[in-house]
Amino acid sequence: MEKPRVGMVFVGMPLMKNGEGYFCKASIFNMLGHAPQFLDIELLCPVLRGGGEGYGVDLAGIVVHPLSGWTSGFDLYGRKFILIALQIFRLFRRLSERWDAVVIIDPDPMSHVAYFFARIMRKRCILYLRGDDTFEILGRNPEGGRGVLAGLWCRCIRFSIASMLRHCVGVVTGRALFERYRSLDPILYYASAVSEAQLAQRQEVEKPFRTGKAPLRLLMVGYLAAYKGYDIAIEAVGLLHKCEGSVHLDIIGAGPDECRLRALAGKAGVSAMVSFRGFVPYGRRLFDFYGGADVFLLMSRSEGTPKVVPEAFSFGLPVVASRVGGIPDMVKDGGNGILLPLLTAEALSLVLQRLIDSPETLGRLSEGAFRSARQYSVERQLKSAIHEAGRRFLCP
């Protein structure tokens, strides 16, 4: 029996290429490392030179058709839009006979072009949406657009997505998107970077029980941008600085907010309690940071269904987080982590003080995190999504 052939059109976030292969941190790519054993996949996407980022997986075994002339999301307008659209059309015309289905990811103007070509060529489509509410983020993200035009643009995009979902199998990450498009019956998928083998290996390692004498080791991993809320964590450490040595925060990642955050740590007098580790590639060194931490912090002001949550769970790290996007879907307050009632440094410092004073509570939350990790394995999520998408294709 022939393997099903899937043409995957990926638009919005480029692949990174280095000497070892292709990488990408987009959530859907976490499952591709397992998919080639039963799918033939071809990708149409921009490719940039650089190293693997964050939770990227090696895609060296997957056929990639790069789109040239694309360097950022701002290339989606004007002359570049036309040139990239022509590239997509030529590739579709030349390659589409090899595909049984097309997956269109994270809709933006180019994804809509790809969907239009796929429909013309009578290809079945899977529409993959990621984010807490992909197009309302513009109104909340301090680095995004605001105002009437941004709101109008969001409404137009949502209307277009709803129209596309009527003709596609929809896969969404996060309950906010699921609720928005519930009437169109999308598949709910939680992104993960953790395989069953990794999970088994990590859970064999007994996590040491923290005593009240050692500093509470905090970890944050991600892009250093304002909407990620690193400033809240640093301010909370500042509020706890009177108990010197009671906490230590490791921040892993790079981004435009790094200088401001370093200055904030200095101003709060906690430079010795906050370590900026820079970008750490996905692998053993990053895993060492996870293994050495007690608590994972996620202070985002806007989120989707972040992969760092199941990653933290797989190391037995309870997650202290904000109540945005898909985070409350995964973090159960008092079970495998704590959800802040308010996203403030004061609220976070109170939670951290409670964990410092009660190692037993931390141990119970750590056990809950381990138990939660298995339901977010790549294989489990992939098997469920592929089974459901296949059922809907076979029984329209």
- DSSP-derived 3-state class of residue 14: coil
382 closest CA partner among 197, 201, 194, 202: 194
117-153 CB burial, b ≥16 within 10 A, e <16 = bbeeeebbbbbbbbbbbbbbbbbeeeeeeeeeebeee
pLDDT of residue 44: 81
11 — pLDDT class (breaks 50, 70, 90): low
The single-letter DSSP state of residue 367 is: H
pLDDT of residue 344: 95
385 closest CA partner among 61, 44, 32: 32
pLDDT of residue 139: 42
- Rounded to an integer, the average pLDDT of 88-106 is 84
More confident residue, 350 or 154: 350
pLDDT of residue 150: 61
- DSSP-derived 3-state class of residue 282: coil
Q: What share of the chain is helix, strand, coil (3-state, %, to 5)?
A: 45, 20, 35
Counting beta carbons within 10 angstroms of the beta carbon of residue 92, is it exposed (0 to 12), middle (13 to 18) or buried (19 or more)?
Answer: buried
Total-model pTM: 0.74
pLDDT of residue 275: 96
pLDDT of residue 337: 96
Amino acid code (one letter) for 118:
A
The structural domains of the chain, ordered by start, are: 5-192+378-394 (3.40.50.2000), 196-375 (3.40.50.2000)
Q: At what angle do helices 258-267 and 230-239 cross, to 10 degrees?
A: 10
388 closest CA partner among 26, 126, 66, 82: 126
319-321 and 274-278 as β-strands: parallel, antiparallel, unpaired?
unpaired
Q: Is the alpha carbon torsion for 366, 368, 371, 375 positive or negative?
A: negative
pLDDT in tens, 196-230: 777 777 766 666 656 656 789 999 998 898 889 99
Distance separating alpha carbons of residues 222 and 254, to the nearest angstrom: 8
pLDDT in tens, 117-138: 888 888 888 888 876 544 444 4
pLDDT in tens, 223-270: 898 889 999 999 999 998 766 558 999 999 888 899 999 999 999 999
Q: What is the largest CA-CA distance in the chain?
A: 67
Distance separating alpha carbons of residues 296 and 255, to the nearest angstrom: 19
pLDDT of residue 59: 63
pLDDT of residue 53: 45
Beta-carbon contacts of residue 35 (< 8 Å; ≥ 6 apart): 41, 382, 386
The single-letter DSSP state of residue 301 is: S
| 36-40, 49-53, 79-83: the lowest-pLDDT one | 49-53
List, edge to edge, every strand of the sheet that includes 274-278: 274-278, 247-252, 216-221, 295-298, 319-321, 337-339
How many Å separate Cα 177 from the centre of its chain?
A: 14
Paired tokens of 154: 């969001």
Counting beta carbons within 10 angstroms of the beta carbon of residue 214, is it exposed (0 to 12), middle (13 to 18) or buried (19 or more)?
Answer: middle
Q: At what angle do helices 196-204 and 378-394 cross, to 10 degrees?
A: 160
Q: What is the mean pLDDT of the chain?
A: 78
Taking 50 as the threshold, does the pLDDT of residue 74 lie above it? no
- DSSP-derived 3-state class of residue 114: helix
pLDDT of residue 55: 44
Beta-carbon contacts of residue 292 (< 8 Å; ≥ 6 apart): 217
Paired tokens of 376: 């977010």
**CB atoms near residue 347 (< 10 Å):** 17
